[in-house]
Amino acid sequence: MDYKELSINERVNYLRKHEFDMTMEDFGQHIQMTKGAISYMEKGNRVVSERTIKIICAEFNVNEHWLRTGEGEIFIQPATFSFDEQIKKSNLSELEIAIMRGYMELDSEVRKAIVQKIESIIQQRSEIASTTDEDEIDAELERYRQELEAEKKVQTLSALQRRETS
């Protein structure tokens, strides 16, 4: 597809429908616009503002040059992982940032040992949860069986008493 032949409005529509697979409402929530405003914009009845261009590019990592002209790659391909960018995106607290920085400063063998310990804890908890679930089910079944047996005894006694009184 030659994106240069599309207007910027059509490129916004293309992104929403084909790249993001979003409804106008969902897309609008991301770029702070109403469904109606997006509809007008995509149809070309409304100019795509500078603010909207900046928000789309920042929110979805879209190449601004592509959005404006249809030339180049649709998305910006980050060359490297940026911890600072992730901090901004994740809205981490100061404590969380300190923990992450401290973890990354550890020797690789220490990090490997930490990961193995966490995996071990997760596996143990999973096994405990599985066993606990089975035990709880067995206990519930036993209680239900006892209730049924008690009801059966009451019914039997009631039937015997009716026979005796008749």
For 94-143, what is each residue's pLDDT tens digit?
999 999 889 989 999 999 999 999 999 998 888 877 777 787 888 888 89
Of 7, 14, 74, 82, residue with least CA distance to 45: 7
Taken as a whole, the chain contains a residue count of 166
Q: How many CB atoms lie within 10 A of CB 152?
A: 10
Tell me if 34 is assigned to some domain.
yes
C-alpha–C-alpha distance, residues 57 and 54, integer Å: 5
* CATH value at residue 57: 1.10.260.40
Is residue 81 within 8 Å of residue 87, measured between CB atoms?
A: no
In which band, very low, low, confident or very high, does the pLDDT at 166 lie, cut at 50, 70 and 90? low
Domain count, the chain: 1
The pTM of this model reads 0.49
Is there a domain that residue 46 lies in?
Answer: yes
In the 8-state DSSP scheme, what is residue 45? S
Q: Are 32 and 55 in contact (CB under 8 A)?
A: yes
- Residue 7 covered by a domain: yes
Residues 58-95 pLDDT 10s:
999 999 999 999 999 999 987 777 788 788 788 889 99
